[in-house]
Structures are given as C-alpha cells and as structure tokens.
A and B are shown apart, each in its own frame.
Chain A
Amino acid sequence: MTELRHRGATEKELQEQHSEDKVTDKEKGSETEGRSERDGASDSEIKPDTGVAEVPVPADDTPEVLNKALSGLSSRWKNWWVRGILTLAMISFFFFIIYLGPIVLMMIVLCVQIKCFHEIITIGYSVYHSYHLPWFRTLSWYFLLCVNYFFYGETVTDCFFTLVQREEPLRILSKYHRFISFALYLTGFCMFVLSLVKKHYRLQFYMFGWTHVTLLIVVTQSHLIIHNLFEGMIWFIVPISCVICNDIMAYMFGFFFGRTPLIKLSPKKTWEGFIGGFFATVVFGILLSYVMAGYRYFVCPVEFNNDSNRFTVDCEPSELFQLQDYGLPSVLQSITGWTTVKLYPFQIHSIALSAFASIMGPFGGFFASGFKRAFKIKDFANTIPGHGGIMDRFDCQYLMATFVNVYIASFIRGPNPTKVIQQLLALRPDQQLHIFNSLKAHLTEKGLLPALEEAA
C-alpha cells in the first residue's frame, strides 16, 4: 500500500538497485539508505520531462492499450492516470467478485495467497542467489501445499461436516487429518535434511527459515480471512474496504494538507494524512456498515446446504444486524436536535474495526517498507502496473485479518453449536452422562427446565 505514495522511478535507478545486491552489507547499508531516500525524495514529481511521448518505460508492463490512450501526457500525469485506472479496475473487480459469491471469494483468496508466497520466495532467491540450490523450490512449494492442506482440511471438516460423514474416504481423511498433515510435513522436513549440501548449509537454512516465516505470515492470515468470510461476508468486506479507504484517504489528506513527516521509514507519510485518514475511515466504516447491514446476503454466515449441495447465505439476522434505538448523549442532542438515533449495533463494532485499520494498519505498511529497504527492492514484484506486486497491495491487510478474527472470537461469536454437538457425540457414554447431568443442573438453575425428577 505504500507504493501509492512512491511515484514511478526510472529504469536507471532500478538497475542501480539490483547491482547493489552484490556489494557487501556494510557499504550497502550506508550507501543505499541514502539512495532510497533520494529515491523517495526525487520520486515526487520532478523528472523534468518534456511532454514527449517517448518516456522510457522501465520494466513496465502497462498494457499497450493504456499506453496508447495516455501517450499524449507527460510521465508524471501518465503515472498518475495509470495508477488511478488500475485502482478503479481493482475496486470494480472486488465488487464483481463479491457479487459472484463465497466460493469465488475463497478461490480468489487462495490465488492471492499463492501469488504473495511466490513473490516473497522469489525475493529470497534473488537476495541469496540461490537459484541453483538443489530441491529448494520444490521444497518451498511442497511446504506451502502441506500447510494449506492442513488448514483447508480443518475448515472443510468444520463446515462440510455432514457431507464428510457421508463419504467413506473423506471420513477417514478427516478423522486422521492431523496425523496425515503431520506425516506430510515430516516428509518435507526429512527431504530438507537429506538435501543439505556441504557448501550451501547456511543458504539452505536461510531459505528454510525464510519459507517458514513466509508461510506463517501469508498462509495463516489467508485462512483467518476465510474464517472471517464464513462468519458473514460483511466481516470480510468491511475490514478490507476500511484498509483500502484508509490508504486512499491518508494519501489525499497528505497530498493536500501534508506537512509534518510521520516516520523516518516512509518519508512521504505525514501526520496530517494519518489523522485525516483516521477520521475519514471511521466515518466511511460507519456508512458502509449501515449500507451493508440491511442485506441478508452480507450478514448471514455462509453455510453449506447438504440438500442442495451449495453454499447458502440465508438466515435470521442476529441482533447485531437489527436496527436499535440508541439515546444520544445530551451534547449531541443539542446539536442535532434528535433524541435517539437508529443504528445497527454492528456500526459500533465497525468503529473499532476502522480505528484499528487506521492506526495499526499503517504499521503493516511500515513493516513492508522496512523489509523492502532492508533487501533493497523497490516493489515486491511487477504484477500490477503502477502499483507493484500483490504483496504491495496487501501488506496492510494482514494485521487486519488477524485482528478481525480475534475480535470476532472474543466479542461476537460464541462457540459453534454444531461443533459442540460433534464433540459431544465423540465422547464416551459415561462422559456424556456426566455432561448431561451438569447441563441439566445448569438449565434448572436458570429456570429453563422445570425441576424434574429423573433417575439418571
């Protein structure tokens, strides 16, 4: 997301950056930090180009059609337009996918995850010149597959419980799921040990560590996103939109009012942008939740309907998504002349979510900036013209996904009744009896059961 604020660089600078990799660390440290800073500084507008169409296109995979359409503009505006158009394209694509439904969203999340993993691993290769390491690419992808198998297996077992119980091979796979996943992982581990080559030990351990940290960051977060999605599509859409909005708003506020730098790590961020973005995002979050909370399609948990074998989003909306009256504090009453206001309780929660997105989200961006500075890369990749790689767009999202998941688990959702039933049925009969008696005592206390005399 920080790339929104770094304008395009010329090809020369990119080349200089790549050649830096071969210099030793010490020199690199001092020299290139300066260079990156100059990068950031000179980055802003002023390459004194004439309005000529022949600006050299650095490693730029802007589609030809865009290039032609914008051929008349100067480099600065051309970049601005390219970014703007791509941004709109991505946002429309996002809405289109939402329209298509949960399964497509899951596939998209999976693809984004794979691409992010690929980008980060490729950076590791180029940093360590380890293309020729035996087995390593195979092992990295193998570990990605194992971890995905583990997580998807757990998700599938939870959501598709009835379907899984029906089919015999699926039932066995799900019963011994952890064991199978662990065995797969161990195979990869043993292959790694057997592939250690005498002169490349350190490199191989670095890449092993690099792969695991990447898996930790990328894969776990993407699965948390999918869990959030299953709670209800609104828990997926609102956080992501808040982060995107925060980026755009902070950029706008910074552009128009920006004066005081925020952090040395990203010299283009300003306090004005940060604070302005915060307020704008909170307001946006409230409005967006108001719009979305009215529709069942967004609000209901995604469930797998065993009869129709499809995902359905149909339910009685929970209290969170029903309009309630809130009395305004007297201060606001005098200003607006209303005594109460109708809100969805979810909108209160959305304030917490958007506050997190505005305050903590940028730290994810700083982390990615620091990472890029540390390894002297400008962008994670060149996938999206004008924006860089997929990781550049998603760096702030990761912290957000974990936060939403933890938030839901702590404040919103209780345990899943279906899951509890499953676990109950898996217990031994005497344990079930014990729980039955405890539950009966509890319910009788609460007055839900008339005091019964049952011989247990």
Chain B
Amino acid sequence: MTELRRRGGGGDPDSTESISDKEADGDDRLGFPGEGEGDMEGDSKADTPDVPPSADNTPECLNKALEGLSSRWKNWWIRGILSLTMIVGFFLIIYLGPIMLILLVMGIQIKCFHEIITIGYRVYHSYELPWFRTLSWYFLICVNYFFYGETVADYFGVLVQREEPLQFLVRYHRFISFALYLAGFCMFVLSLVKKHYRLQFYMFAWTHVTLLIVVTQSHLVIQNLFEGMIWFILPISTVICNDIMAYLFGFFFGRTPLIKLSPKKTWEGFIGGFFATVAFSFFFAYLLSPYQHFVCPVEYNSETNRFAVECEPSNLFVMQEYTLPAVVQNGVRWKTVNLYPFQIHSIALSSFASLIGPFGGFFASGFKRAFKIKDFADTIPGHGGIMDRFDCQYLMATFVHVYIASFIRGPNPSKVLQQLLLLHPEQQLSIFNMLRNHLQEKGMLPPAVEEAQ
C-alpha cells in the first residue's frame, strides 16, 4: 500500500538502497548490493515511450494504449487502471458469495507466503538447501489444515456428525495436526547439513514467522467473514480508502514529512486521510446495513448443502434514534438522528485503519529497506506484489476479530452445544437442570410442575 505514495518523478530520496552490506550487519552473507536500484519508477529518463520496462509485466494491450504518454503519466495511468481493476474484481467476488471469498482469501494467503519465502531464498542464497522448499510448503499445509479443521468443525457441525470418517478426523483433530507438524519438525532436524546449519535455522525461523503473520491473519479474516460479510467488506474498504485518501491529500496539500522511514508520507496526508476515511466508512456502513446479504452471519444450511445468508438482523443493524448532543443540535437544527448502531462501531474501525494501519505499511517499508528490495514481487503491474497491497490489512484483520470477540459477539451457540454433547451424562443432566431453572426464572419457560425424575 505504501507504493501508492511513491510517485515517479525523480529518484526516490531514500538512499538506503546503496547502503553497503557492512552497515546492516557484519555477519551475514548478503549478496546483492544494488538490487533495487535501477528499478525506480519515473527514473527521470527521457519522456520517450521507450522507457525500458525493467521487469515490467504490464500487459501488452495497456502498453500499446498508453504509448504516447510520458513515463510518469504512463505509470500513473497503469496504477490507476490496475487499482480500478482490483476494486471491480473485489466487488465481483463479493457478489459471487462467501465460498468464492474464502477461496480468494486462501489464494491470496498462498501467494503472500510464496512471495515472502522467495525473498528469504534470495536473501540467503539458499536455493540449494536440501529439502527446504518442500518443508516450507509442508508447514504451510500443516498450519492450514489445523486452522481449517477447527473452522470446519465449528461451522459444519451437523454435516460432520453425519459422516463417519469426518467425525473421527474432527475428534482427534488436534492430535493429527500435531503429529503432522512433528513429522515436519523431525524432517527438518534430519535434514540439517553440516555446512549450512545457520542458514537452515534462519529459513526455519523465517518460515515460522511468515506462517504466524500470514496464515493466522488470513484465518482471522475468514472468521470475520463468517460473522457477516459486512465485517469483511467494511474493514478492507476502509483500509483501501485510507490509502487512496491519504495519497490524494498528500498530493495536494502535503508538506510536513511524517516519518523518516517513508519520506513521502506527510502529516497533512495522514490527518486528511483520517477524517476522510471516518466519513467514508460512516456512509458506507449506512449503505450496507439494510441488506441481509451483508449483515447476516454466514451459515451452512445442512438441508440444501449450501451457504445461506438469511436471518433476523441483530440489534446492531436496526435503525435507532439517537439524540444529538446540544452543541450539534444548535449547529444542525435536528433533534435526533436515525443511525444504525453499527455506524458507531464503524467509526472505531475506521479510526484504527487510519491511525494504526499505516504502521503496518511502515513495517513493510522497513522490511523492504532492510532486505534491499523494492517490491515484494512483480505480480501486479505498477503495484508490486500481493504483499505490497495487503500489508496494511493484516493488523486490521486481527483488530476486527478482537473487536468482535470483545464487544459484539457472545460465544457461538452451536459450539456450546457441541461441547455439551461431549460431556458425561451426569454432567449433562446437572447442566440441564440448572439451565431449566435459569430459563424459568427469566420467564422463558413456564414454571413447570416438578416431575418425578
């Protein structure tokens, strides 16, 4: 996301690309001093269309269409078109429904993992390490198996109870996942080769940290999705909006630099982006809240064997009247205003996206500087790799998940029922009696005549 702000036009003032290896640390074998150097956009070469497209995989059609423009505007147009394409693609996938979204998240996760691991290989020149690529992908599969297994067990409870092999897999799921992981661990230990110990440990750690960041976050994204598609769409849109707004504000009004790490970010962009994002998400939440398709938890309907998004919208998505504080009343001359409670929550989400989200971007910038790479990869023309686009999203996904768990959602009823069914019959009986008394007190059950038990 930070790439949106690195405009063409003059080389980037950060001369860190030319730091010699010695300054970073004396111990490691770093191979490639000037890797990112020639790559900068708008390297103020001539305005001819013959700018050498340095590792550029812009599709030919775009190239032809933009032939006549100068390098700077060409880049601007490419970025713009790709941005629009990505946003349109995003809406299309939303239209296609939850399963497509899950598949998309999984695809992105795999690509991000691949990008980061590839960087690790390049940094450590460890292509020739025995087994290592196999092991990295194996660990990815293990961790995904563990997480998806937990999700499937929760949400597809009824389906799982029907099928015998699935039941076995679910009951011993943790054990099976742990056994798989251990197998990978033992393979790693057995693959240690005498001259490459340190490299192998580095790659092992690199893999694990990447798994920690990429895989856990993508599963949090999917869990948010199951709460209701609005919990997936709104945060992501807010982060994207913050990027674009901060860029625009910085472009028009930017003057005071924000942080040395990203010299092109400015305080004006940051603050302007904050207000614009809060306003945007406020309105966007208003737009999305009436639709059941977005607001209802995604559930698996065991009869039709499909995902269903239908429910009675919770209180959060029902219009309520709020009285304005006296100050605002004088200003606006309305006494009350009709809002969805969710819009209040959206203010919290968008504040987080604007204030803390950029730190994810700074982290990724620092990472790229540390390892002297310009972009994570070249997947998206004009934007870099998938990781470049998603670096701010990760903190956001965790925040939304923690927010939901703390302020919105109670425990999942089907999960509680599952656990109940696993208890001993005596325990079930005592809980049953306790629950009956509780419900009778609350008036949900008519006070029953005490039957002989």
Q: Measuring CB to CB, which residues of chain A are less than 8 angstroms from any residue of chain B? A: 21-22, 24-26, 29-30, 33, 127-130, 175-176, 178-179, 182, 186, 189-190, 192-194, 196, 198-206, 209-210, 212-213, 216, 263-265, 360, 363, 366-367, 370-371, 373-375, 399, 402-403, 406-407, 409-411, 414-415, 417, 419-421, 423-436, 438-440, 442-443, 446, 448-450, 452, 454-456
Contacts and interface: CB of A to CB of B under 8 A. Distances in A.
Contact of B25 (A128, A366, A419): A128
B431 A417 contact: yes
Contact of A439 (B174, B402, B403, B431): B431
Given A420-B419, A435-B435, A21 B209 contact: no
B197 A440 contact: no
B435 A26 contact: no
Given A216-B208, A417-B423, A454 B398 contact: no
B326 to A, nearest CB: 30
A31 B403 CA distance: 53
A348 B407 CA distance: 45
Contacts of B410: 426-428
Contacts of B432: 436, 439-440, 443, 449
A376 B27 CA distance: 13
B24 A203 contact: yes
B438 A373 contact: no
B356 A442 contact: no
A426 B406 CA distance: 12
A421 B370 contact: no
Interface of B is mostly: helix
Interface of A is mostly: helix
A440 B171 CA distance: 23
B172 interface: yes
A436 B439 contact: yes
Q: How large is the interface on B (under 10, 10 to 19, 20 to 34, 35 or more residues)?
A: 35 or more
Contacts of A375: 198, 201
Contacts of B25: 128-130, 202-203, 206
B187 to A, nearest CB: 10
Given A205-B366, A414-B422, 20 more contacts: A25-B29, A29-B196, A130-B25, A200-B24, A201-B367, A202-B370, A203-B25, A213-B205, A263-B190, A360-B182, A360-B186, A367-B185, A374-B201, A375-B201, A424-B420, A427-B410, A436-B435, A436-B439, A438-B417, A449-B429
A421 B431 contact: yes
A399 B446 CA distance: 53
A435 B194 contact: no
Interface string B246-269: 000000000000011100000000
Contacts of B26: 22, 129
A41 B423 CA distance: 56
Contacts of B319: none
B445 interface: yes
B425 interface: yes
A54 B451 CA distance: 88
Contacts of B23: 199-200
B175 interface: yes
Given A186-B356, A406-B178, A439-B420, A201 B445 contact: no
Contacts of B65: none
B193 to A, nearest CB: 9
B194 A264 contact: yes
A210 B416 contact: no
Contact of B189 (A128, A363, A455): A363
Nearest to A442: B421
B433 to A, nearest CB: 10
Nearest to B208: A213
A449 B430 CA distance: 12
